[in-house]
Structure 1
Amino acid sequence: MVISDPISGQQQRAPVGDCRRYAAAKGWNVVDELIDDGVSAFSGANIETGKLRSFVENVRAGMWPGGVVLLTERLDRLSRQGWDELYSWIKQVTTAGASVATVDSGKLYEPGKRVDLSDIMEMIIKGELARDESFKKASRLSASWAAKRERIGSGKEAVMTKRAPGWLRVEGEPRRFVVIEERAAVVRRIFEDTVNGIGKATIARDLNREGVKPFGRASGWHSSYIQKILKSLAVLGEFQPGKKPRDTRREAVGEAISDYYPAIIDANLHAAATVAMAGRSRRVAGRGRSLVNLFAGLARCQACGSKMTFRGKGLKLRASGKWVQEDYLICDSYQRGRGCEVGHHFNCATWQEGILDAVLIEALQDRHFASRDEVRPLEVELAEGVRRLEAAVIKRDAVLELLVETQRPEVRTMWDKLVAVVQAGEGAVDDLRKRLVAARGAVSPEEHMRRIRAMRDKLEDEDETIRFSTRSTIMAAVHELVMTMEFSADPLGVTIETTAEETVFVSLEEHGGSSGPVVTRVAAPD
């Protein structure tokens, strides 16, 4: 016999206990208990995706050849979608070969036996009452939350729910948010570290090493939670009302509410962190501060599509007495024995020189040489302006839909105002972009070439800070320009495709007893 009940938590104990006692009185052996925590019987998710669905599949597969009884406290534990859905499901179960029993009425619905009219009437009454009760509860709850959102939006209520971000708590009556200062300091540190170029994983590791307690019930800090904090607008005080019908994803409702939470991060710091994160995407990440592989995330094996992995063997003394850097790129699938047979070792120094010859002039722009002290404030201001513009566009589009639907004059007035806000925002963003171009500084082609040569000379600078800064800049620039980079053993070379729709092939040729890179370009079609 199998016990089924969808209720979770403290409410679960009594129904399950009643089922166990009923089974014992009947002499039935309990072989399993099906408990779907928080899965809705009103929406039918428990039958469509929950453990009840698995139960039916197991019955059909012949798991219990001697027969099995599904015991539940009441029929509405199985479905609250109405009597027709309930009856149809019970017929489906009994046709598959299982019986259904209820504790409250003592009914047993068996395979191959016709359901009496009185049982059908009872099913109709109980099924419809359960459905109506659930519908009314859902409607009242939805209306209650809608009213709360309206009061919050109009400023009549300060706190919608006791749930709050990890750096806040709810106190007093009427309820209000209070900043937990030590946690807010941690959040500010996370943003400041991000602006300073420290990655999420490193931030989480540092917090764990220092014994900083995580928010909530987690055992430690994780990069995913650092990411969640950095993406949150709650740190700026914004709250986005939403709704989450049972068994569905949360949906935004209405406009975001400013100053709902106490702001713990100013807009400039938030925007600066956003800019910093964009520059620290996965594509341009490197191990440690050396960034030995400038093409990490781009380089692929042309034969199998696997990434080219870095193998560092350091300096080696050759028979000629010359010291050579023995660092290579090799197909990851070949190295791990995963099926690729192309095991050619591409010397990093040699191929790096050829690839940079091919793409660096196009990749490095004026902005890559600009003073960060001048450019950073403008980048922050631009990022914040773009964020405000995107929010205004969303509001404008939502009001436009409402205007098309209602044609009400007050909605038209609102739409006109939002159109003006968007136009002003677009103008401000365009102006900021022009100012940013000017701040980055444009130079002559000859001077630009001198800047590039000087930067390449610093790739192997003895000063770690200079070397890291140079390699970071070049790595970011290359990743912005290059879409694909495929290493081939036959013919030996590297094929590069750029965002400018240009294809470049880098190969090696002999020159006076030694080989050097040669670049062949294929222009984009007209």
Structure 2
Amino acid sequence: MPIAYSYKRFSSDAQEGNDSIRRQTAAAQKFIEDHPEYDLTLDTTLSLTDAGVSAYTGKNLKTGALRQFVDAVRSGLIPEGSWLLLESLDRFSRQSVNLAANELLNLINDGVVVVTLHNETIFRREDYQGMDGLVNLLGAMIAMQGHYQEQVTKGKRVAEAWRAKYAKVTEGHIVTKTTPFWLEVNPQRTGFVVLDDKAEIVREIYKRRANGEGKASIAADLTNRGVPTSRGRGSTWHPSAVEKLLNSDTVIGVLENRHGERFQNYYPAVVSQEVYQAVKSLRQQATSKGHTPTHHPLTGLVKHMPCNATMRRINKGQTNTKKMGKSPVRLQCSSCGVWLPYPMASSAVSDALFNSQWVPAPIPEGKESIDLELSLDALMDAAEETFVRFKKSKNPADRQQWERLTEEVQAIKSQLKEVKGRNTMLLAEIEEQRLKTASSLLDAVRSVAKRIEINEDLTELSLTMLSGKIVSVPVNPLASFKD
């Protein structure tokens, strides 16, 4: 008796309110009841619901419940011959047809029978031995392309709507739902009201930073005084929260949308231009104590392969697992949230750079060394011929010529060794200078690496050089963060 699994997905709360899950579940149950000939049993143990997960970006196939189903099939937890019931193919994917069809075929080839409930089309592996499978596949590909184009069109309409919405900013309209924590929208929705107590915190942070005080010192003092954080969920301020506020242009009234368009005087300014410019200039300068901002060379360079998402350096909060140890500083996937200690990641990158045998490009040896090598080859050939002739003739003249040629060979070898030695010294000087300009091996990574990727379970790191060479190294599980 085959087991049928009902996969359900919706991408917004509105759809949930419209009873999307109930509708999709009812369709699966109805299919089973209407087709007793398949003798299906609906599974109720595995939750296959992706709530608020996009199929257009493929997130449901990367990290969602559908990904878990696919992994369970490939690991054998879900046996061949199981059925996957979908309301329609757009529940499965809204990606372009080349991506969506590939994922569907992989699942079918793994022995899963896929059903689209809205038209009761059945996709089986064995059907592709005849015309039925081809006809169904062509229909599926057309439907997938339609779902993809629909999403693209919807995206364009949304973008146009946002452009029209932002066009009203110049007319004084409020176009944003969220506001900075020191402001609120007035009851008439015609402008903003400054919350003086919170705005004063912002001004204090800016003034203290403009006077040269460090972000960590400001954060520690706010925490010690019990000042509520910007989110109002506690009183623990992190330096990153202070830095985010100091990098914001909203304090001088600027609204910047996700397309990078800037609108002046949208918000009321709560920081003077003088103080704001003083803080802005410090972003590129040392603090009053002479320290330059800490540079983290892996920031934005490492990606988690399954999610294709950047792994960010996190330096707040604390995690503690038996495998990783205690680590306040970590590299964390911005999509699925998996992490590993930052020292572990940097150690793996250093290993990859070392294994890549990265050195500056070799210096051309030039005409001098080339001429010497040609002369050496000719003399060695002549010496060998003369020695062979001497062994046969025992002629003293041949012996004298062989000894002269041998001396010349040794002389040229010495000259060639000297030339190559000069090149090696020059190469070493260049390498030494390069290491001086880079504070560490990791600082050099951005000049030689195209990308860095970490696999799904964080056990292997792959570094792709600008040359195209790929170096893979294991991530050392013993390199956990040490107190």
TM-score using structure 2 length = 0.49
TM-score w.r.t. the length of structure 1 is 0.45
